[in-house]
Structure 1
Amino acid sequence: MNLPIDKEKKRVAAWLISCCFLVFVMVVLGGVTRLTGSGLSMVDWRPVTGVLPPLSDIEWSKTFAQYRESPEFQKINFMMDMQGFKRIFWYEYLHRLFGRLIGVVFLIPFLYFLVRGYIYRHEWPKYLLMFILGGMQGVLGWYMVKSG
């Protein structure tokens, strides 16, 4: 026997499935970032203002200079030139940008569904825990970059 599922539950389910897909893509992107050695190419952690990449040659030079001061450059990539740096930079940039996207794709619909009553009061803690765990992944990423 099939029970009818109301539209609200279908919308919440579609949102959660979308978030799961985004997390899957993030894991793949993180794997590519790791395998290419790109993970520490962005030594400056700016979660809010760091959305835009370097846009001018001067900004690229400044960003590359910061990377040259990192232990990863000094121990592993000391032969890297600007072109090589740009190549690894983009993987890490996309990885961080995608992390922000996941946060927005989770938070905005969550708040919408909360206000509209699509999520029951007793379910709030589960969703908040998911959001907090996602945020903790970002904090862990920050720590990994900071610790080199």
Structure 2
Amino acid sequence: MAQKRSIFEEVGSEQPARPPVKAPGGGLIDSRPKGARNAIRRWLIVLFLLVVGMVVVGGLTRLTDSGLSITEWRPVTGMVPPLSETDWAVEFEKYKATPQFALLNSQMTVDDFKSIYWWEWSHRQLGRLVGLVWAAGFLWFLLRKSIPY
């Protein structure tokens, strides 16, 4: 650079700019139906809100020391909580066998156990819902070819 130039000096040619070139088919996103982008946007917003809810409920589950109150992970049959006092007694006996009960909650009653159980159960249900909403939305948009790839 032999000469100093002003920072604000106009550079370029005096010829008018060429019109923008369109991609064949309008591009990946533009070739989709206009409603698909809005539907995907709404789906992602719902997923975002569910994940925020999952973080909040997970934090409350942790703060109430409820995280180990359900001693088994049964993805399908675990969706149904204990429905009778007998079922609650069985679940409480399983919890009594855990180190958490011995170390932290040895004075806990069945009624106390129910409160921490509901936190953990709600957290797991919300996790199932997040997975279901994600899978259903992803498959729906994939089968309709609304997701650019």
**1:100 maps to which of 118, 125, 128:** 128
Which structure: greater helix fraction? 1
Does residue 55 (structure 1) correspond to residue 83 (structure 2)? The answer is yes
- From 99, 104, 109, the counterpart of 1:81: 109
Letter in 2 for 1:70: T
Q: Does 1:34 align with 2:62?
A: yes
2:52 counterpart of 1:21: no
RMSD: 1.3
- Give 4+ residue runs of structure 1 displaced > 3 Å after superposition: none
TM-score normalised per structure 2: 0.77
Q: Which residue of 2 aligns with 1:118?
A: 146
Give the match for residue 36 of structure 2: 8
Which amino acid in 1 is paired with 2:121? Y
SS in 2 for 1:50: helix
What's the CA shift for 1:37? 0.7
- How many equivalent pairs are there? 118
**Paired residue for 1:68, among 93, 96, 108?**
96
Q: Deviations over 1:41-85 (max 9, x none)?
A: 001110111100000111100000000000000111000000100
Give the gaps of 5 or more residues in structure 2: 1-29
Q: Counterpart of 2:93 in 1: which secondary structure?
A: helix
Max Rg structure: 2
Identical counterparts, % of pairs: 45
- 1:86 Cα shift? 0.3
TM-score (norm 1): 0.77
Find the aligned partners of 1:96 and 1:56 in 2 and give their Cα distance: 20
